[in-house]
Structure 1
Amino acid sequence: MGPLMLDVSACEINADEKEILDHPLVGGVILFSRNYHDQAQLTELVRQIREYSRNQVLIAVDQEGGQVQRFKQGFSPIPAMGRIYNKASSDMELACPNAEMLGWLMAAEILAFDIDISFAPVLDIWGVSDVIGDRSFHPKEGIIIELASRFIRGMHQAGMKSCGKHFPGHGNVKEDSHVTTPVDKRSAEQIMTSDMRIFAEIHQQGLLDAVMPAHVVYPAVDKLPAGYSSKWIREILRKKLDFDGVVFSDDLSMQGATSVGNFAQRAKAAMQAGCDMVLVCNDRAGAIQVLDGLPIDYQASDRLKTMQKGPSPDMGQLQLSPRWQQAQQLIAKFN
C-alpha cells in the first residue's frame, strides 16, 4: 500500500486520475461533497477508484456529523457530537447509548458503499477553537472520554476502525489551522493532563485504531507542528502512550502545514516524524509533487492494512435491519 492519500475532482474518475491512481505510491483516496450526487453515483465512483488503483487503497471521508458531513441526501443526518450530551439533558445513562448508536449508524452507512473509514471521532476539547466547536463532544475531558468511547464502540460494531483527531488537541487554540499555524502556548503539563488525557485514556481501553495529529505548534514541547514532530509522534505517542496504530497526517495543503517547505518536503517531514500515510487534498499539483518527490519503491507501513473494512451489508440490506430503523427514531429526536 502506498503512503499518499489524495482526492479526486468530481463524481467520476477522469483520464488523468486513472493514471494517478495507478501510481505505486498512492495508497488512499479521500472523498468530499463534490464527489457525491446520489447513492448510485457514489457506488459507481467507489467501484472506479478500486478498479483503477494499482494498490488496495483505503477510501476515506469526513462524515463526523453536524457541519462536517460530506454525504447528505439519502444518508442519515448525524448530529454534531456536541449535541449528544445536551439532547440527553446531561444524563450520561442516556447520552452514552445514544453516542454508541450514532457511531454505529454513521459507520454502517459509510461501509455500505465500500468506503473503509470516516476520519472520526473528533477528540478535541470544546474550548476556544472556532473550527472545532461542537464537533467536539463536550468542554470536559471526562465526558468526552465516555461519549467518544461509546461512539467508537458503535463504529467497531459496524466494522469500521476509528481515527481520533487532532492529537494532542486542537481545542485550546483560537486560530484555524486551515488558514494559519496556531500556537498553543500552554505548559507541557497542562497539555498532557488535559487534552492529551483524552487520547491516552481512550487508547488504554483498546479503542483507538488511528490518530491524526494537529497542525498546531506546542512550543513547550517542540517548535514543530505536531504532525511534523518526532517528539510528539515517536516519543510521546508511540513510546509514552505505547500506541501502535496508524498515524495519518492532516491535509498537507492546509496553511498550518506550510512551515517546512514544498509538498514533497512536507510529506517527507511528516513521514520522518512517524506518519504512516500523508494526505494531500484539493491541490493536484501538490499531490503530483509528492509522487515525484518520494522514492518510487517506498514501502508504507503494514499498519495501514488494519484500517481496511471487512464485509458489510449494502444500504438496502442495512435499511431493513431493526437497528437501523431504531437509529432513525433517535435521529428524529435530534431533528
Structure 2
Amino acid sequence: MNPHAPLVIDVAGHRLTTLDRQRLAHPLVGGVILFGRNWKDRDQLTALCRQIKAVRPDLLIAVDHEGGRVQRFRTDGFTHLPPMATLGALWMREGKAEGVAALEATNAATAVGYVLGAELRACGIDLSFAPVLDLDFGESSVIGDRSFGRDPRMVTLLAQSLMHGLLQSGMGHCGKHFPGHGFVQADSHLAIPVDPRGLDAILADDAAPYGWLSASLQAVMPAHVIYPRVDQRPAGFSARWLQDVLRRQLGFTGAIFSDDLSMAAARQIDGQAVNFTTATLAALQAGCDLVLLCNQSVVDGGAPIDEAIDSLARAVVEGRWQPDAVSEERRLALLPTAPALPWDALTVSPRYMQALSLLPA
C-alpha cells in the first residue's frame, strides 16, 4: 500500500467513467468528495458509492452534509435537517429549569448527528465535513446559521453531542474551520478574508472549542483566512497554525484536511497567485494530511485533477515532498469499522425513529 494517499478529488456525474476509475486507482488519491451533481436518488447514490469502493475499498467517501442550507441530498427519503443555529436556539430557550434547555438541546444535537450519519452511511458514505465550530459574530454571511451560536462553550457541547450521534451511526466527522471563520465578513470562496485579531484573543474565543474537543475530534479543516498578527499565510497553508498551535498547543492528534483548494482564498500564497500543484504542496508541507480538490472533474474533462496527481508524483520523485506514513494512518482511521444498516432496516429501527422524534422543527 502507498505510504500516503493525500488527494481527495471529485467525480463529474452519477456514475464513474473510465477516467474516474483511473484517477481513483492512483496511489496518491485517498478519497472522493461528492456534490449535488452526483445525486439522482438513493439507489443511484448507493450504486455510485459501491463503484468507488470497487476501485479501492480504502477510498474515503466524503460529503459536505451539515443540515440547513449545506445539505447535498434532500429528496428520496433524506430528512431535511435543521441548521445548527436551531440547536443553539433550543439551548437558549427561557422558561425551563436551570440547565434543562441545554440538556434538551444536547440530546437533540445527538439525534441530528445520528440521523445525518445513519442516512449517509446507508448509502455508502463514510464521512461528513461537520460539525461547524465557527462562532456566530453576526458578521459572516458564509457562516451565519451554520454556526451553533456565539458562545464557544455552547458550541463545544452541542458539537460534541452532534459528533456523538455521528459516531453512533458509524459516520466520520470533521470540525471546521480552524481557528475560526465567523469573525470575518469576506467569503473565502470568493476572496481572502483577513482577521486582524491576535493569537491570544483567537485562542480564548474562536479556537477554544478545538482545545476542549481535542480528545474527541477525528478530523479538522482549517480556514482559508489570514490572521496577519499570527502568520501572513492562510491557516491552511501555515505550519504556525497547524503544527505549533493545533497540534502542539491544543493537542489535536487526528487528521487535518485542507479546505477546497479551488477556492479563491486558496489560490494566493504570500501575495502570489498559485496553481493547484503549488497550493497542494504548500498545504501538505504546512501540516495537512489530506487536501481537497473540488469541482475540478467538470473542468476540461478533469485536466486539473490529472495535473495535480502528476505534479505530486513528480514532487515525490524529485524529493520536493515526502509521503507521510502517520498521515496515512490518520486517513485510514476515518474509514468505518462496521457495516451500516441498509436504508429499509434503518428507517424501521427504534434508534432512528426515536432520533427523528427529537429533531427540532
Quote how far apart the aligned CAs of 1:88 are.
Answer: 5.6
Cα distance in 2 for partners of 1:235, 1:89 equals 35
Task: Map Cα deviations across residues 259-294 of structure 1 (whole Å, 9 max, x no partner).
Answer: 131111100000000000100011233222210111
Q: Counterpart in 2 of 1:218?
A: 227
Query: Which TM-score applies when normalising by structure 1?
Result: 0.95
Quote how far apart the aligned CAs of 1:102 are.
Answer: 0.7
- For 2:8, what is the secondary structure of its paired residue? strand
Q: Does 1:256 align with 2:265?
A: yes
Q: Does 1:299 align with 2:308?
A: no
Task: Map Cα deviations across residues 38-70 of structure 1 (whole Å, 9 max, x no partner).
Answer: 1110111011111234x6210001110000000
> Which amino acid in the other structure matches residue 44 of structure 1?
A
Contact 1:13 1:49 in 2 (8 A): yes
Aligned residue runs from structure 1 range 176-215, under 5 A: 176-203=187-214, 206-215=215-224
> Which amino acid in the other structure matches residue 305 of structure 2?
A
Cα distance in 2 for partners of 1:235, 1:317 equals 46
> Which amino acid in the other structure matches residue 184 of structure 1?
D
Quote how far apart the aligned CAs of 1:161 are.
Answer: 2.6
- Of stretches 12-21 and 169-178 in structure 1, the one that deviates more from structure 2 is 12-21
Cα distance in 2 for partners of 1:241, 1:88 equals 26
- For 1:142, what is the secondary structure of its paired residue? helix
Contact 2:211 2:251 in 1 (8 A): no
Cα distance in 2 for partners of 1:20, 1:156 equals 30
Aligned residue runs from structure 1 range 88-107, under 5 A: 90=93, 91-107=101-117
Q: Does 1:312 align with 2:340?
A: yes
Task: Map Cα deviations across residues 294-335 of structure 1 (whole Å, 9 max, x no partner).
Answer: 13666352211110012221111111111211222234x51x
Aligned length in residues: 330
- Of stretches 17-26 and 72-81 in structure 1, the one that deviates more from structure 2 is 17-26
Cα distance in 1 for partners of 2:251, 2:303 equals 36
> Which amino acid in the other structure matches residue 334 of structure 2?
M
Q: Give the 4+ runs in structure 1 shifted more than 6 A.
A: none
Contact 1:6 1:279 in 2 (8 A): yes
Aligned residue runs from structure 1 range 84-233, under 5 A: 84-87=87-90, 90=93, 91-127=101-137, 128-203=139-214, 206-233=215-242
How many percent of aligned residue pairs carry the same amino acid?
Answer: 44
Q: Counterpart in 2 of 1:41?
A: 44
Contact 1:6 1:280 in 2 (8 A): yes
Cα distance in 1 for partners of 2:21, 2:228 equals 42
> Which amino acid in the other structure matches residue 29 of structure 1?
V
Quote how far apart the aligned CAs of 1:87 are.
Answer: 4.0
Contact 1:217 1:225 in 2 (8 A): yes
Cα distance in 1 for partners of 2:91, 2:110 equals 13
Cα distance in 1 for partners of 2:103, 2:245 equals 33
Query: Which TM-score applies when normalising by structure 2?
Result: 0.88
> Which amino acid in the other structure matches residue 102 of structure 1?
V
2:27 to 19, 24, 28: 24
Cα distance in 1 for partners of 2:153, 2:90 equals 18
Contact 1:28 1:59 in 2 (8 A): yes
Q: Does 1:244 align with 2:253?
A: yes
- For 1:223, what is the secondary structure of its paired residue? strand
Contact 1:281 1:287 in 2 (8 A): no
> Which amino acid in the other structure matches residue 306 of structure 1?
A
Cα distance in 2 for partners of 1:282, 1:62 equals 13
Contact 2:90 2:104 in 1 (8 A): no
Q: Counterpart in 2 of 1:56?
A: 58
Quote how far apart the aligned CAs of 1:89 are.
Answer: 5.5
1:270 to 275, 278, 283: 283
Cα distance in 1 for partners of 2:168, 2:216 equals 12
Contact 2:32 2:60 in 1 (8 A): yes
> Which amino acid in the other structure matches residue 12 of structure 1?
R
For the structure 1 residues 89 and 124, does the alpha-carbon distance in structure 2 shift closer, same or farther, using more than 3 Å as the test?
A: closer
- Of stretches 36-45 and 290-299 in structure 1, the one that deviates more from structure 2 is 290-299
- For 2:213, what is the secondary structure of its paired residue? helix
Unaligned runs of 5+ in 1: none
Cα distance in 2 for partners of 1:31, 1:168 equals 25
Q: Counterpart in 2 of 1:285?
A: 303
> Which amino acid in the other structure matches residue 309 of structure 1?
P
Cα distance in 2 for partners of 1:88, 1:214 equals 26
